[in-house]
Chain A
Amino acid sequence: MRALVIEDDPQLRAQVSQYLTEEGYAVDSAGDGDEGQFMALEYPIDLAVIDLGLPKTPGIAIIKAVRKAGRKFPILILTARDGWQSKVEGLEAGADDYLVKPFHREELLARARALVRRSGGWSQSLLECGPIVLDTTARNVNLSGKPVELTAYEYRVLEYLVLHAGEVVSKSTLTEHLYNEDEERDSNVIEVFVRRLRTKLDPDSTLNPITTLRGSGYRWDLPRNP
């Protein structure tokens, strides 16, 4: 998951970015509205955290521009005063949730998780597909009730595929959404992750949760539990 943090205070920006990085997000950050708006429109974002009181382009304007451009990733707004007028304004402009400063780390992460999950069409924090269950809060995976050991990157790939179930996800899309700018990107690594995921989640090759579409990418094909 790739998150964008637009916050003018450098310390808070660093803090929020750190929280999200620790949670397994690839994070881009911007210190003013103009830069933020550019990133929000151009980068492959899965979640944006936007402060409403920004220099240059205000937060509301960024949200409007993003929605006008047809980009649908969830947006969490940060407001300083619990002013409902600005909250309503932000949510009306196209944001999906709000958080009042100051906030707890857990609060921010819970909102972020819920938003990403919701954007994938899931209303529960447990993503259940047959015997495979992802707990997005604890960030662990169970197969038929038994925990599955996954590395952080393996989990990220799995979560991205499950949240985009039924869609064809290319290797480059996966690298774009999972790696930070400064990290070395090698699409071969993705193949390795997917192979390992298949072994760990489907040791008997009976489920076939991930389909490979030659030349275009991967697709999560396990239907979600009703």
Chain B
Amino acid sequence: MRSLRARLLLAATLVLLVFMMLTGAGLEQAFRSSAQQGQRDKMQALVYALLGAADAGENDVLTIPANALPDPRLSRVQSGLAALIFDAKGKVIWRSSNFEGQVPDLVAPKVGDTQFTEYDDQFALSYGVSWAADSSAHLFTTPKPRRYTVAVLEDKTPYRSQLGVFRRTLWISLGFAVSALLLLQLLVLRWGLAPLQRLAKELRRIESGEQASIESTYPDELMPLASGLNTMLQGERNQQSRYRNALDDLAHSLKTPLAVLRGLVDDKAADPALRERLRDPVGRIQEITDHQLRKAATAGRRSFAEPVRLRPLVEKISGALAKVYADKQPEFSFDMDDRLRARADEGDLYEMLGNLMDNAGKWCKKRIRVSARYAERKLHLCVEDDGPGFPAEADQLLQRGMRADSLTPGQGIGLGAVAEMVRAYDGSIALGRSELGGGKVDVALSV
């Protein structure tokens, strides 16, 4: 169960279903007992009515005259209502004219008691009574009261259909209620979880470089989380810039004495043998510090890097290069969306584009073209010029460990540095020939 919403929904659904079952069952039970009570009362009333109509028959035995029947259904065939009277021995002494079928096996209740029994297809109510014939008909003797059981039988069909209608109505309305509640639940969940979804969306936008920090307001419960995330993002970025400043200091304090040493090597007044011996180690130290400092300074791929707009950055670099190559007055053209943002470290982008564009400036005749676009989830950068293009062995420049001083000054060092940084971005770099006539460097970065 990976989604919070699915969890809540499942739990709510289960609770609702159980609640619906219990409610339904309870209501049905209540209805059933109330219906049975009604049935019982009705039958009891009929028993009293029958007794009210009772008359003495042969041998003063209790009987119901056919014309005194309290309910006309008792004489109608298949009316579903029938009555029986048993004597103390359980023998039927009277039956309503419409009674047919088997006499049910009824338990005789005590006198004055009622026994209500539910059979598969009918209800039966039996009532114990002690009855004597009217004494006014006998002049000399007082008739002795005898024990009888009056039973009323009623077919269950009306009860059943009544119950059926109730059940249908009950479950249909419960079903509707549950569906409505579930729907409501769904809406409530959506509404309640919407801020979370919004937060996730914002994080995705930060990750994809479309915004720099979490900006919207959130409910009180999420606000600490949102501001915490912002603090973390800010902290990471600050950390990066502190780190970079420290590296700058380190570079400064290493390279200044190195420049002095380098000057000593170049100093024609110094001992030539000493200069010769120094040349190689100084070159190596320079190479190693260059390489290691660059490696340390390359931020590489980082999630949540602050997005950098490429166009202003490229324009800044070209503005700077226009000064450096003022003699040529190179013409820069840019082929990129004004709003294009790269989710890469700003320093890294400066470094890569600076080196590539510097290289192009160095070798171009007049024209330099810089293009950038996102395709297949990669940032593609391309720098072209109209110069002589790369020599055949130029691909070597991209190899690691290529000695910087074995290359044409400027060219190789920059390209090697870019190739190294591209690796930190899981990217690729390729040299080619531009349609402008000169060299072309294609860089793809996974950012």
Q: Which one, A85, A92, A97, A114, contacts B350 given CB within 8 A?
A: A85
Given contacts A101-B255, A101-B259, contact A83 B347 (CB under 8 A): yes
B246-270 CB mask vs A (1 if < 8 Å, else 0) is 0111011111111111110011000
Number of A-B residue pairs with CB-CB distance less than 8 Å in the complex they form? 107
B294 / chain A contacts, CB cutoff of 8 Å: 82
Asked whether A53 lies within 8 Å of B252 as measured between CB atoms, the reply is yes
A92–B316 CA distance with the chains assembled, in angstroms? 8
Q: Which one, B255, B256, B267, B351, contacts A84 given CB within 8 A?
A: B351
A9 / chain B contacts, CB cutoff of 8 Å: 256-257, 260
Given contacts A91-B323, A104-B262, contact A84 B252 (CB under 8 A): no
- Nearest to A54 among chain B residues (CB) is B252
Q: Which one, B247, B260, B286, B317, contacts A15 given CB within 8 A?
A: B260
Asked whether B297 lies within 8 Å of A81 as measured between CB atoms, the reply is yes
A54–B371 CA distance with the chains assembled, in angstroms? 36
Q: Which one, A19, A86, A96, A103, contacts B326 given CB within 8 A?
A: A96
A78–B263 CA distance with the chains assembled, in angstroms? 14
Interface residues of A in 77-110 (CB under 8 A from B): 78, 80-88, 91-92, 95-98, 101-107
Q: Tell me if A12 counts as interface (CB < 8 A to partner B).
A: yes
Q: Which one, A91, A102, A106, contacts B324 given CB within 8 A?
A: A91
- Nearest to B355 among chain A residues (CB) is A84
A35 to chain B, nearest CB (A): 18
Q: Tell me if A224 counts as interface (CB < 8 A to partner B).
A: no
B93 to chain A, nearest CB (A): 119
A54 to chain B, nearest CB (A): 10
B321-363 CB mask vs A (1 if < 8 Å, else 0) is 0011011000000000000000000110011011100000000
Asked whether B351 lies within 8 Å of A101 as measured between CB atoms, the reply is no
Q: Tell me if B320 counts as interface (CB < 8 A to partner A).
A: yes
Asked whether B262 lies within 8 Å of A102 as measured between CB atoms, the reply is yes
A118–B409 CA distance with the chains assembled, in angstroms? 22
A63–B17 CA distance with the chains assembled, in angstroms? 78
A102–B254 CA distance with the chains assembled, in angstroms? 10
B354 / chain A contacts, CB cutoff of 8 Å: 84, 87-88
A98–B260 CA distance with the chains assembled, in angstroms? 18
A102 / chain B contacts, CB cutoff of 8 Å: 255, 258-263, 282, 286
Q: Tell me if A188 counts as interface (CB < 8 A to partner B).
A: no
Asked whether A92 lies within 8 Å of B297 as measured between CB atoms, the reply is no
A7–B409 CA distance with the chains assembled, in angstroms? 24
A55 to chain B, nearest CB (A): 11
Asked whether B260 lies within 8 Å of A80 as measured between CB atoms, the reply is no
Q: Which one, A83, A88, A101, A123, contacts B297 given CB within 8 A?
A: A83
Asked whether A97 lies within 8 Å of B251 as measured between CB atoms, the reply is no
A84–B282 CA distance with the chains assembled, in angstroms? 24
A141-166 CB mask vs B (1 if < 8 Å, else 0) is 00000000000000000000000000
Q: Tell me if A206 counts as interface (CB < 8 A to partner B).
A: no
A19–B282 CA distance with the chains assembled, in angstroms? 19
- Nearest to B313 among chain A residues (CB) is A88
- Nearest to B247 among chain A residues (CB) is A81
- Nearest to A106 among chain B residues (CB) is B266
A124 to chain B, nearest CB (A): 8
Chain B: interface size category: 35 or more
Asked whether A53 lies within 8 Å of B263 as measured between CB atoms, the reply is no
Q: Which one, B255, B316, B319, B323, contacts A81 given CB within 8 A?
A: B255
Asked whether A83 lies within 8 Å of B326 as measured between CB atoms, the reply is no
A101–B286 CA distance with the chains assembled, in angstroms? 9
Given contacts A91-B320, A92-B320, A118-B326, contact A80 B255 (CB under 8 A): yes
Q: Tell me if B417 counts as interface (CB < 8 A to partner A).
A: yes
Q: Which of A11, A78, A91, A101 has the most CB of B within 10 A?
A: A101
Asked whether A91 lies within 8 Å of B319 as measured between CB atoms, the reply is yes
Asked whether A88 lies within 8 Å of B350 as measured between CB atoms, the reply is yes
A53–B254 CA distance with the chains assembled, in angstroms? 12
- Nearest to B282 among chain A residues (CB) is A102
Q: Tell me if B177 counts as interface (CB < 8 A to partner A).
A: no
Asked whether A80 lies within 8 Å of B262 as measured between CB atoms, the reply is no
A53–B249 CA distance with the chains assembled, in angstroms? 8
Asked whether B346 lies within 8 Å of A85 as measured between CB atoms, the reply is yes
Q: Tell me if B293 counts as interface (CB < 8 A to partner A).
A: yes
A1-27 CB mask vs B (1 if < 8 Å, else 0) is 000000111011001100100000000
B355 / chain A contacts, CB cutoff of 8 Å: 82, 84
B253 / chain A contacts, CB cutoff of 8 Å: 80
Given contacts A101-B255, A102-B258, A114-B327, contact A83 B350 (CB under 8 A): yes
Q: Tell me if B290 counts as interface (CB < 8 A to partner A).
A: yes
A84 to chain B, nearest CB (A): 3
Q: Which one, B254, B324, B351, contacts A97 given CB within 8 A?
A: B324
B421 to chain A, nearest CB (A): 11
A117 to chain B, nearest CB (A): 9
Given contacts A12-B260, A92-B316, contact A81 B350 (CB under 8 A): no
B262 / chain A contacts, CB cutoff of 8 Å: 102-104
- Nearest to A123 among chain B residues (CB) is B327
In the complex, besides A15-B259, A85-B350, A91-B323, 16 extra interface pairs with C-beta distance below 8 angstroms are A11-B257, A51-B256, A81-B248, A82-B290, A83-B351, A84-B354, A85-B346, A88-B317, A88-B350, A88-B354, A92-B319, A95-B323, A101-B256, A102-B261, A102-B263, A106-B266
Query: What 10 A-B pairs have minimum CB-CB distances, sorted nearest first?
Result: A84-B354, A91-B320, A102-B259, A80-B252, A81-B251, A102-B262, A101-B255, A84-B350, A15-B263, A53-B252
A: residues with CB less than 8 A from B are 7-9, 11-12, 15-16, 19, 51, 53, 78, 80-88, 91-92, 95-98, 101-107, 114, 118, 123
Q: List 29 A-B contacts (CB under 8 A).
A: A9-B260, A11-B257, A15-B259, A15-B260, A15-B263, A53-B249, A80-B256, A81-B251, A81-B297, A82-B290, A82-B351, A83-B297, A83-B347, A83-B351, A84-B350, A84-B354, A84-B355, A86-B248, A88-B320, A88-B350, A101-B259, A102-B259, A102-B260, A102-B262, A103-B262, A104-B266, A105-B266, A105-B267, A123-B327
